[in-house]
Structure 1
Amino acid sequence: MANFSVHTIETANDDSKPLLEDSKKAYGFIPNLHAVMAESPALLEAYQSLTDIFDNKTNLSTTEQQIITMTNNRLNGCSYCMAAHTSIMQAGKVPEDVIKSLRDGTAIADPKLEALRLFAEKVNLQRGNLNDGDIEELLAAGYTKQTVFDVIVGTAFKVLSNYTNHIGDTPLDRNFSKNEWSSEA
């Protein structure tokens, strides 16, 4: 397989440099995911834009957003994103039992949150080929039709990062290493 660079601001092409500078401002460091994505300014910009959209333009709480992202990370077997998003959840005060359920792929005790987890799982596994019953279960749990499409936004967001990490063999950042995860665990 091709070896992909983990770019710095100095080694990135001119179009990626300001994007990496934005990452450094936002996180206090440049996550290796962003450094690998810098190979393609279009990919890095798409990822940063979709991150902003998912975080700030959906009607989902931090916990709900992380349920969608972590469900996709786990199903897609992305060790990097499982560790990174565990750190994000801990910083965002997501309840520990929810974090454990998402890392293990087990039911969440809260029935509404569990309905969202199951729906995100179906969207991923069925590639969006849902039946009316799948959508009705989500709506019956207290979510809206907007949530149906916000789950798709979160799924697309994770495709960008999960696939990049698989192809680029992104090394785990030291900042996330305490939350290392393996699909074999």
Structure 2
Amino acid sequence: MANFPVYTLESAPEGSKPGLKWLAEAFGMVPNIAGAIAGSPKLINGLTGVFQQVHGGNFTEAQVQTLLLTNAVTNGSTWAVAFHTCLALKEGLSEADVHAIRARRLPADEKLAALSHLARTLIDKRGRLDDHDVASFTAAGFAQALVLDVILVSAASTMTNYTGSVANPPLEAMFQQYAWQG
């Protein structure tokens, strides 16, 4: 496997420092995945732009974490599963719902289940949702236009999940208890 560096705020390429600084402020640290992404100033700055839209959008933080965790599991991104498990629990998802998503099952909460199902379907079908997929989502009380926001969250996940799979950054000690193997 190629050895990709995990940059810090001090060691990152100049063009990556604004994005890393923004993420450090958002998380109180520079996550190792962001340090790996910083090898590409374009990617880290693209991620921060998408990240701002995802977390300032129409979903609650618990719903965002449901989507991000589902995407990480579906994409088989071990680093992202651990990270989003921690954040999902912090945002109030039940341990049972988090465990269900990690086991590729749906959460018990109806709205979270609809989000998780749509996210997984979107990835599995490579974006080719059909009317039934959209109808299942809207039946849970979501507006049809929010399907597009699920695509936005998927875009953020693609950047981090794929980087995690390619660069394989080490999992921080604070996330070790949430380690996951697909």
- TM-score class, shorter: over 0.9
1:42 maps to 42
For residue 34 of structure 1, give the secondary structure of its aligned residue in structure 2: helix
Is 1:52 aligned to 2:72, yes or no? no
> Which runs of 5 or more structure 2 residues have no equivalent in the other structure?
none
For residue 2 of structure 1, give the secondary structure of its aligned residue in structure 2: coil
1:118 maps to 117
For residue 16 of structure 1, give the secondary structure of its aligned residue in structure 2: helix
1:63 maps to 62
Percent identical: 32
Quote the Cα distance in structure 2 between the aligned partners of 1:30 and 1:93: 23
Is 1:100 aligned to 2:69, yes or no? no
Quote the Cα distance in structure 1 between the aligned partners of 2:110 and 2:30: 37
Report the alpha carbon displacement of residue 80 of structure 1 after superposing the two structures with TM.
0.3
Quote the Cα distance in structure 1 between the aligned partners of 2:47 and 2:86: 19
1:33 maps to 33
TM-score by length of structure 1 reads 0.92
1:84-115, CA deviations, whole angstroms, 9 ceiling, x for partnerless residues? 00111122122222111111111222233222
Query: Please, what is the CA RMSD of the aligned residues?
Result: 1.4
Aligned residues: 182
**One-letter identity of the residue aligned with 1:24:** A
1:79–1:182 contact (8 Å) kept in structure 2:
yes
Quote the Cα distance in structure 2 between the aligned partners of 1:168 and 1:34: 11
Distance 1:65 1:26, change over 3 A: closer
Report 1:1-185 matches (<5 A). 1-57=1-57, 59-183=58-182
2:100–2:107 contact (8 Å) kept in structure 1:
yes
1:94-152, CA deviations, whole angstroms, 9 ceiling, x for partnerless residues? 22221111111112222332222211111110011111111111111211112111110
Q: Which runs of 4+ in 1 moved over 4 A?
A: none
Quote the Cα distance in structure 2 between the aligned partners of 1:112 and 1:30: 31
1:62–1:94 contact (8 Å) kept in structure 2:
no
Report the alpha carbon displacement of residue 156 of structure 1 after superposing the two structures with TM.
0.8
For residue 15 of structure 1, give the secondary structure of its aligned residue in structure 2: helix
